[in-house]
Each structure stands twice: as structure tokens, then as C-alpha cells.
Structure 1
Amino acid sequence: MVVKLGLHYWTYTTPPEPELIAPTLARTAQLAEAAGFASFTVMDHYFQMEAVAPAEEPMLEAYTTLGFVAAHTERMTLGVLVTGVMYRYPGLLAKIVTTLDVLSRGRARLGIGASWYEREQRGLGVPVVPMGERFERLEETLRICLQMWSPDNGPFEGRHYQLAETLCVPAPIGRPRPPIMIGGSGERKTLLLVARYADSCNLFSAPVDELRHKLDVLRSHCEAEGRDYDSVQKTVAMRISPVDEPEAFLAAARDYAALGVTELQVTPDRHPAEFAEQVGERIVPRLADIG
């Protein structure tokens, strides 16, 4: 299977003028699609992540941004890498993703995770709950989304969420529903939820032996859940720059492909439109020989 590329748009700082955010985003998405990128994702943050840049840097709301991108593209899958489970009530999240799917004509993907960035949560009044509860809420959210994307419009009774009816009209266009991606590599909870509910996992790039171990854990969970391991798509968020280190990037792509990875997400490390164009010219054609 051919290894695909996803563009992960994580910063709105370049160029620095706020009035240029929209045209830069549109041009980058169009260049990425023309270059052969298979997916386009954004972060679910309201403050920039302090680990990579000052929190005060520009940040846009994720699903509004993807609606804008949908209007400027035609083929790429669109998703959040990944939705923070604490940021939206599950029933509303299912409607938001459905709306994106309908307006993009079936291109939405629900990427979701347990959320973690407490500064923005406290700053904006989002409840901060213990990790164990976040994972309980994550599982209930997955169950609610799956029910809302099914013929069952009945109630949902969970520990944290109670819905009187799970009506979702119009239904998503994507069939049988928008695919679900769970982000994270936690072996006891996250990868179990992947095996139980998801169509794909998203792992951080790591040495091959470490990544193989994570996938072996996923395989074990799939066996325990009666799930076909090969039915789960494996994706990896890359740390190696495909522009600055093309040979190292391609070597890692070959190693990951041998493990069954089918999509690599890359993040712009320069002007995003230039990045998309350069990756399209230098990397995408060479990926055709990998898989």
C-alpha cells in the first residue's frame, strides 16, 4: 500500500499579519492538494502550545478553520489532529463533524484524543478533570458519535453524558460514516480504544523498535477485542523535516511502511505555502516507490 502524506497546519504566525492568515491558509491547502497530499489537519488548541512557541501566538478554532479549508479544496480528507475531548459536548461534536462532512461532500475525519493542555482549559473556563475521567469521557464520546451516525436515534445513558435523543439529520455523506482516528500511544487505554472503536491510530514518530512495540500492543488489543488488526489504519506524526532532511525522512518512511504505516503527517517549518510546494516537488513523487 502506498504511503500517503498529510499536511498538519499547526501555526498561524507566518506570515505575521493577521489579514494574511486566510489567504495563506487557502493557498497552502490548494497547493497541498495539487501536490498530492491526502489529508489536511489542524490542531484543536485555543492557545499555541508552550512547548513549541509562546502561548500568545495566533491560533484559530479548529472546525471553523476546516470549514474554510473545505471551501477551497475538493479531494483531501479534513480533520483535527486531534479534537480535545473536553472542548465540546459529544452530541454537538458529532453534529460539528457531520456538518463538516456534508459541506465537504464526505471528506471529514473525526480525530480525537483525551486532551491535555491545562493552561488553555483553565484560561478559557473549560473543566479540568483527572486523566482517568478524561478517558472515560473519551470512550463515551466515541460511543455517542457512533450512535448518532447510526439509524439509532434513541437515548444514550452514560456516566458522564446523558442524551435524550441522538438525532443527527442530515446524516454524514461519507460512508458508512466519517472515519474515526484516535491520537496517542498510551498502551493501556488509548490503544485499547483504538482497537475497540477507531478506524485509524495516530502515533508520534519514534525509533522503529519502539513503534513496532506500540503496534504489537495494538495488535494484542485487537485480538482481545475480536478486531481485525489490519483493518486499523496506522498513521504517524513525523518529527523529521522532509525539506531539510529528505533522505532521513524517506528512510524513516520506508521503515514505517514496513510496519504497516500508511500515512505520515508533516508540519510546516517555514512559510506554509512554500513548505507544501517544496514537499510536493521533492518528496511526494518519491513516496510512490515506498509501500
Structure 2
Amino acid sequence: MKLGLHLSQQTWPNGPSGFRTDLAQVARGADEAGFGYLSVMDHFFQIQAYGPPEHDMLEGWTTLGFLAAHTSRVKLLTLVSGVHYRHPGLLAKTATTLDVLSGGRAILGIGAGWNEEESRGLGFRFPPLKERFELLEDTLRYVRQMWADGAEPFTGNHVTAERLLNVPQPLQRPHPPIMIGGSGEKKTLRLVAQYGDLCNLLPGPDLQRKLDVLKQHCEDVGRDYAEITKTAAVRLDLGERGEKTGALLDELGRLADLGFHAATGWAHGVPDPAVLERFATDVIPAADRL
């Protein structure tokens, strides 16, 4: 079981003037501790689960470029990018650039998007749900084609392009892994089966059913279910003195028994370096054995 550190909370004690130092320290700490993934939000306002919209929120892909410069091993991703925020060509080029400059460590995290408040607040168009899912499938087809050899035109439901030229190509071949976020059984998990390399599911009593649905979608499209890395969102909370470590390891064991390969979440107490040191000694070695 691999762990992913998700930097969903950026209102830190040192404020914006300390971001550069604090983020670099967290990135190095996560890399050295053995986290498998390091992710950031792709939001422009903070979301309700972590605080009011006025809390600090850095732009995700720019932040990943900074994190890449301070790490050497950990995989880097947004968890996840709303499909309506960027044209597919810009998104594919951005992910390509991150993959090249990180030495082949980029993951494209993408989903249908949901935060109407920030979209309307900043003037982004917020299409109806049906259109966002159509755009998501367009984007998944588009990026996979742009990351393939050749420079053919593209036609989708909402996107057309004359020449999907991409030079340089990503270092990871055939392409950077694609994580599709969300757990909708009819649309999202079908797209995971058809186009995804990773999924990310929310915790809950229905996780086994979600995996069964994904497996059925894989059978329907002729995909090997075992090829897909299953990840789940968890809260990585060890407690103030490590008193919650056992409970976290029990939850990771439960997820591993269900067939999950990784768990990603916010670690309470970051950016305090002692938090990541506790993960390095007390959690990650045990999780690796699950």
C-alpha cells in the first residue's frame, strides 16, 4: 500500500511569504519519507471541506512545477483538474512539460469538475453536468491522441483541432498515467475502465460495490481490471502524539484487503517536518508491507 500526501490545506502559519520555504521543505520531506504521490488541489478558492473560500489557494500546475524542482522520486499530480478549466491542448502540453522537467514523474489527474462557486466567481464557464462529462471524454481521447505518435486532427463532441503536434513528447511512454477522480457508477467509472490508469474513490461503506462496478465496466470494454491502480482518499491523521497511528494502519489494511493500491490524503500538522518524519518511521514502512 503506497501513501500519497495531498496538500489540500495551504493556510499555513508563515503565510504567503513563507510558502516558498515551507513548500520546498514539505516536498523534500515527502520525497525522503517514501510517499508514493504528492498532490495538490486544482481549485482557485478553498473548498468547504478544508476552510472558507478566502483561505490561501495556489494554482495547482504551477505549484507542481515548483514541487518537481525540490523532489526526485515522488509522483506529482493534481487531485484532480476540473475538465472545464483548461482547453485539452493546454492541459496536455502542461502535463507534458511537467513530465519532461520532473524526469518522468507526472500524473494527469482529471475529473468532470463540480465547484460552481469558484467558476462563476472568476468567470469560468460552468457547463451543465452532461456537457462536462462529454467534455471529459473528449479530453481523455484528445490527450491520449496528443501523446501518441503522429499529429493527426481531432474531432470530439465539443473540441476540434487540426494538428495534435506535441514536441517534445512526455518521457513516460506510452503516456503519463491518467487518474480519473470521482466514483459515479454509470459515467465516471466507465471512463476509468476505458481511459484511466488510476481511479480515486472516496471512503465509505460502498467501496466494495464501487470496485465491483469498475470491474464490470472493465469486462464490458475489454480492459484488464488489474491494470488500473485503485486509490482511495483518506485522512492521514496520526494524532498530536501519534495516538491515532494504529487506527490509520487498520484503515489502510482494510483498504488493502479490498484491493486498493494506494491511499492519498491531507496529513494533519503539515508543514511541521516532524509530521512527515513520523510517517517515515511509523507508517510508510508498515504500509509498504500491506
- By the TM > 0.5 criterion, same fold? yes
CA–CA separation in structure 2 for the residues paired with 1:78 and 1:117: 22
Q: Please give the TM-score of this superposition, normalised by the length of structure 2.
A: 0.96
Shift of 1:204: 1.1
Shift of 1:16: 4.0
Partner of 1:92, secondary structure, is: helix
Aligned AA (1:138): L
Which position in structure 1 is the counterpart of 2:21? 23
Displaced runs of 4 or more, over 6 A: none
CA–CA separation in structure 1 for the residues paired with 2:254 and 2:10: 32
Which position in structure 2 is the counterpart of 1:164? 162
**CA RMSD in angstroms, aligned pairs only:** 1.2
Which position in structure 1 is the counterpart of 2:32? 34
Maintained 8 Å contact 1:95/1:168: yes
Structure 1 residues not aligned, in runs of 5+: none
Matched ranges for 1:102-141 at <5 A: 102-141=100-139
Question: Size of the alignment, in residue pairs?
Answer: 286
CA–CA separation in structure 2 for the residues paired with 1:273 and 1:86: 34
Partner of 1:134, secondary structure, is: helix
Maintained 8 Å contact 1:153/1:167: yes
Structure 2 residues not aligned, in runs of 5+: none
- Does residue 265 (structure 1) correspond to residue 261 (structure 2)? The answer is no
CA–CA separation in structure 1 for the residues paired with 2:45 and 2:232: 24
Partner of 2:261, secondary structure, is: strand
Which range moved further: 35-44 or 250-259?
250-259
Aligned residue among 217, 222, 228 for 2:224: 228
Shift of 1:50: 2.5
Identical positions, percent: 50
Maintained 8 Å contact 2:46/2:53: yes
Which position in structure 1 is the counterpart of 2:95? 97
Change (3 A) 1:9 1:100: same
CA–CA separation in structure 1 for the residues paired with 2:244 and 2:226: 30
Maintained 8 Å contact 2:231/2:261: yes
CA–CA separation in structure 1 for the residues paired with 2:138 and 2:270: 39
Shift of 1:240: 5.5
Aligned residue among 185, 202, 205 for 2:203: 205
Aligned AA (2:280): G
Q: Deviations over 1:82-125 (max 9, x none)?
A: 01101000011000000000000100000100111111100111
CA–CA separation in structure 2 for the residues paired with 1:276 and 1:43: 19
- Does residue 218 (structure 1) correspond to residue 217 (structure 2)? The answer is no
